[in-house]
Amino acid sequence: MKLIKSKDYYVSSFRKISFTVLRWLLFSGLMYVILYPVLFTLSTSIKSYDDMVNPMVVWIAQRPNILNFIEAFNKIKYDEGLMNTLTIVIPTAFLQVFSCAFAGYGFARFQFKERGLIFGILLFSLTVPSQAINISRFVMYNNLGLMDSFWPIILPSIVGLGIKTPLYVYLFRQYFRALPKSLEEAAHIDGCGFMKCYFKIALPNIHSALITVFLFSFVWNWNDVFEASLYLISPSLNTLAMRLVNINGYINAGAATGIANTRDSIKLLPIKFAGIALVIIPLIILFSVAQKYFVKGVERTGLGGE
């Protein structure tokens, strides 16, 4: 017997197909906006002079020149900049994870007067531009003799005053709220204090949040230019982000002027993009390695607790 499909069936199928097509179009457009600058940078970074002046070459270089990376490495003093950057971002990320997790646990587990108000003020502080408070910090660090060193950037993380701290506290609070209170209540019955419960029970169960916040802090401090340029005066202390902002000065040093200037500008363009690629490649590798924990950590931040 032949089944006759109703009009509602076709309408439902049309809506489902339309929604799928629309979703993929939006997803493709978003991916294009995100990936285009990265792919263009990587593509241009390996082009030779002949590829740059050849209008037929758009994405794939016909004569790849890997020496662009070596020249960019030397011109921006990549090893020195990388060491400076890691000296800042690694301790800062660990300290922010420690201080923000501690604060997030307090907001999630302890009942105290005006807890909601204090937490609301903390989140509201995200809207306060860092420039508004860095003037007073600059005067304070200058009086303490800490200028032109990494300490003005690292020290605030110890007490939860680093970059994007309110966001990290919020992430930890959501994670701790998602943990069953029965685990800690059972530990309290066995004689565990709050600190022991925090280090022995709470922290080991939120490793995804720890990795997520570490990645956030690492990336934001890696890309930070404002605070680094405010406190680091000597060129030898410049981070990779600062060298990236001033990459034209590093790459163009010693370039010819006059008639040969146009040719040199075209030749130096792939070297500039190679320098940009050298700065972003470590972040791409880091995210690729920790992607599973990062996605899991972001997904669970909206979960509620008992």
Inter-axis angle of helices 67-75 and 78-109, nearest 10: 80
The two tokens of residue 196 are 């022991």
Type of residue at 42: L
Give the residue among 48, 26, 45 at the shortest CA–CA distance from 37: 45
Mean pLDDT by 10 residues, the chain (306 residues): 58 80 87 86 86 82 87 89 94 93 88 84 83 84 90 88 87 86 80 82 85 90 89 90 82 54 74 89 85 64 49
pLDDT for residue 260 = 46
Contact 228, 88 (CB under 8 A): yes
pLDDT for residue 30 = 86
Inter-axis angle of helices 78-109 and 165-178, nearest 10: 50
The b/e string for 258-295 (b: 16+ C-beta within 10 A; e otherwise) is eeeeeebeebbbbbbbbbbbbbbeeeeebeeebeebbe
Three-state DSSP class for 76?
coil
Residue the block writes with tokens 């003005």: 152
Dihedral, CA atoms, 274, 222, 236, 134, nearest 10 degrees? 140
- The DSSP annotation for 160-211 comes to T-STTHHHHHHHHHHHHHHS-HHHHHHHHHTT--HHHHIIIIIGGG-HHHHH
* pTM higher than the cut 0.85: no
